[in-house]
Amino acid sequence: MDPKAKAEAGMKERIGKLRQELMTVRTGRANPLMLEAVKVEYYGQLVPLKQVAAVAVPEARIIELRPWDPAALEALEKAIQKADLGVQPQNDSKVLRLIFPTMTEERRKDVVKAVGKLGEEFRVAVRNLRRDALEELKKTAKDQKMPEDRQKAAEGEIQKLTDSFVGQIDQIIAEKQKEVTTV
């Protein structure tokens, strides 16, 4: 496989993982995507929360979970507690409500820092993919006796690709930080 194509596939994968990780970051607003990773033990099987309950956001800070089967309410409550979302579910025997407290200014600053740190981790991962691709390119160039100008052009393409993905990460992180700081 071409080193550039391999690097690009890895970088796209990193962007996807970054988006997934940012979905779970609490912003002070109720976001059903926070529940994507929650698994509920239902009849001895771990199943995604969506298969057990309907998810609704009636207000900006409340998520309501209505189980399809009333017998699953207790298992649903346990799964939410185990997921450690920073909120206690309120059970009224038909519906589970997750009421998210408003975030303090200090907590918002901490979350912004954590999001920035996460962004840096993903930028480093993309740069590591670049390094690996350049090493593979040099090895291939040496083995195939590739002309130096073609090798330099390929290195330039890999660098442009890296810059593009680092820019995407910066944009995603900036959007999330803005979302966190918006009251």
Q: What letter represents residue 99's amino acid?
A: I
Angle at 48 between CA 47 and CA 51, to 5 degrees: 90
pTM: 0.71
Q: What are phi and psi of 88, to 5 degrees?
A: -95, 130
> Domain segments of the chain: what residues?
3-23+104-181, 32-99
CATH of domain 3-23+104-181: 1.10.132.20
Pick the CATH number of 32-99 from 3.10.620.30, 3.30.1540.10, 3.40.50.10420, 3.30.1360.40: 3.30.1360.40
* pLDDT of the chain, 183 residues: tens digit per residue: 788 899 999 999 999 999 888 877 767 677 787 788 889 888 888 898 888 889 888 888 888 999 998 888 888 988 888 887 777 888 888 898 988 877 788 888 888 998 999 999 999 999 999 999 999 999 988 888 888 888 899 999 999 999 999 999 999 999 999 888 876
For the purposes of burial, counting CB atoms within 10 Å of the CB of 183, is it exposed (0-12), middle (13-18) or buried (19 or more)?
A: exposed
C-alpha 172/C-alpha 118 separation (Å) is: 11
* Contacting residues for 40 by C-beta, under 8 A, at least 6 apart: 46, 47, 48, 49, 51, 52, 53, 72, 75, 76, 79
